[in-house]
Amino acid sequence: MLALFRVERALNFTIIYQISKSVPYFQRCYWSGGMNYNCKMVGGKSNRRTAERKNQKSVAPVWRPVSTQSRSVEDKEESKAFEGSVSSTDKHLVSLEVGSSLLRFIKGKGGSMQEKIEGEMGIKIIFPSSRTEESITIEGSSPDSVARASERIQLIIDEVVKSSALDYSHFVSLPLALYPELVDQLVNFQSSILGMHDPNPDEVLDISSNKDTTDEEDRDQKVDEAPQVAVTLQAQKDGENVKVDVTNIRRVSYPPKSSATSASKSKTSTSSELGIDESIFIKPKTFHLTVLMLKLWNKDRVDAAVRIFESIAAEVMDALDGQPVSIRLKGLDCMRGSPAKARVLYAPVEVVGGEDRLLQACKVITDAFIKGGLVLEKDAKQALKLHATVMNARHRKRKTKTRNSDSFDARGIMEQFGSKEWGEYLIHEVHLSQRFVFDEDGYYHRCASIPLPQNPQAD
């Protein structure tokens, strides 16, 4: 286990034990699966206390996905209030702050996981009634059952956090969307590919009043050569039927239906067949470079990330030598695979004047989060490749899985935009950004930021 389990405060337990009040209480400490149970129990002296102390193994505390803090009930009023909420049988309660994003995994589909744990461990799991609360309560008839259930829940969360089932919640970003000209380029790029631009006049039959005279003459000639048709019309005059014969009526033929709308629909249909739709484009107002992805599933971890981020501002500035840094975006490329089955399409990044300073600043940030235990093991091993994503098939919104759901055909896009010059831009600041939450300007919610140099400093 690497950095994920190395932070100081992993588990936040509120543990309340109530047993018979007829005998004095004693203090015990349980270690199980890296969880520190500081419990105050009410009960008689145990005949096995000495033996238990000898058999008790020393286990070093490790980071777990549940944040912790221990407390015991000494306040009499609180004890009385608790007594009124339990039955005559002894109850043992543990409150675990796990994070709202993890509650669904403890419940399982249709409550299946909750039922399985409760049945096997002989405990009851109580979930919060409010969406803003992040803790669950485990209620059992013995300390062992509560401890085993807590450990079981930790193991479930461990696996979820390391898997793709739990999405990344935060990331460190270098914002680029603050440049209106770049945002406009991205909007035009998306519109062009989706066929939202004006249709090609050569592809649409012009049926306006300003028609080509040669076409008009040819059409009139074809109409004049048409055979004559006799039409009998029935009409009434003063209540009597009147027969009217009309001859030499010209037959009129109309061009097939074709318009800007139908051309646009045809282009949209083609895009759909290529696996391209609006949802896989990056929102222009969120355009950025990614430095590091993070899973911060509860408030304690978010707070820890903010503290770490703000504490390294001076080191980041030193890595940049106190000088501004600019990047140049040019062309398009696929992250993996071929353009025919692209998953991620991005604009390559070139750091003006050499990338050593910017990469060193990014390394300072990454190392700090790894040391703080907030980076998954697999992410800690990845080498940083700065890139500006413009399309990502993973963002596709779909009701059912289709053949093109995990990729798209980018060959036409590469042919048209493969050498596009996006421009040169100064990096103004580094953000600790929260995914799926946006500020008023449309960019990801900023949890914290580090301003970068804007003007060259004199030696």
Question: 314-345: b or e for each residue (b if 16 or more CB lie within 10 Å)?
Answer: eebbebbeeebbebebeebebeeeebebbbbb
On whether the CB atoms of residues 98 and 13 are closer than 8 A, the answer is no
Give the helix ranges, DSSP H, for 195-295: 213-224, 260-273
**Size of the chain in residues:** 459
Tokens, residue 278: 């609006």
Q: Give the chain's mean pLDDT.
A: 75
The predicted pLDDT at position 337 comes to 83
The predicted pLDDT at position 184 comes to 97
pLDDT at 400 over 70: no
- Write out the E strands in 228-386: 231-237, 240-246, 288-294, 326-330, 333-334, 344-351
Tokens, residue 284: 């222009």
- Residue pLDDT, tens place only, 87-141: 445 789 999 988 999 999 999 999 999 999 999 999 999 999 888 888 999 999 9
- What percent of the chain is predicted at pLDDT more than 90? 55
The predicted pLDDT at position 323 comes to 94
The predicted pLDDT at position 196 comes to 54
- Residue pLDDT, tens place only, 188-224: 999 999 985 344 433 333 333 333 433 433 433 333 4
The predicted pLDDT at position 406 comes to 86
- Residue pLDDT, tens place only, 299-348: 999 999 999 999 999 999 999 999 999 999 999 999 988 999 999 999 99
**Rounded to 5, what percent of the chain is helix, strand, coil?**
35, 25, 40
The predicted pLDDT at position 430 comes to 98
> 3-state class of 192 per DSSP?
helix
CA distances 197 to 124, 188, 262, 267, 409, Å, are 59, 8, 13, 10, 20
- Residue pLDDT, tens place only, 141-167: 999 999 999 999 999 999 999 999 999
Q: What is the DSSP secondary-structure string of 80-146?
A: HHHHTTS-SS-EEEEEEE--GGGHHHHH-GGGHHHHHHHHHHTEEEE--SSTT--EEEEEESSHHHH
Banded model confidence at residue 43, pLDDT cuts 50, 70, 90: very low
The predicted pLDDT at position 107 comes to 95
Banded model confidence at residue 186, pLDDT cuts 50, 70, 90: very high
Give the helix ranges, DSSP H, for 298-355: 299-311, 313-319
Q: What is the mean pLDDT of residues 230-255?
A: 49
Question: CB-based contacts of 233: which residues, under 8 Å, 6+ apart?
Answer: 243, 244, 246
- Residue pLDDT, tens place only, 418-434: 999 999 999 999 999 99
On whether the CB atoms of residues 363 and 315 are closer than 8 A, the answer is no
The predicted pLDDT at position 67 comes to 41
Higher pLDDT: 175 or 64? It is 175
On whether the CB atoms of residues 113 and 156 are closer than 8 A, the answer is yes
Ramachandran bin of 436, using left for φ above 0, alpha for ψ from -120 to 50, beta for the remaining angles = left
Give the position of tokens 């896989």: 280
On whether the CB atoms of residues 177 and 285 are closer than 8 A, the answer is yes
pLDDT at 44 over 60: no
The predicted pLDDT at position 242 comes to 52
Tokens, residue 71: 């407390």
78 vs 76: CA distance, rounded Å:
5
On whether the CB atoms of residues 406 and 267 are closer than 8 A, the answer is no
Which of 297, 369, 359 has the alpha carbon at shortest distance from 327?
359
The DSSP 8-state label assigned to residue 356 in this structure reads: H
The predicted pLDDT at position 450 comes to 98
Backbone dihedral angles phi then psi of residue 229, each to the nearest 5 degrees: -130, 130
On whether the CB atoms of residues 177 and 288 are closer than 8 A, the answer is yes
Question: 383-399: b or e for each residue (b if 16 or more CB lie within 10 Å)?
Answer: eeebbbbbbbbeebeee
* Structural domains of the chain ordered from first start: 3-162 (3.30.1370.10), 170-195+275-451 (3.90.1140.10)
pTM over 0.85: no
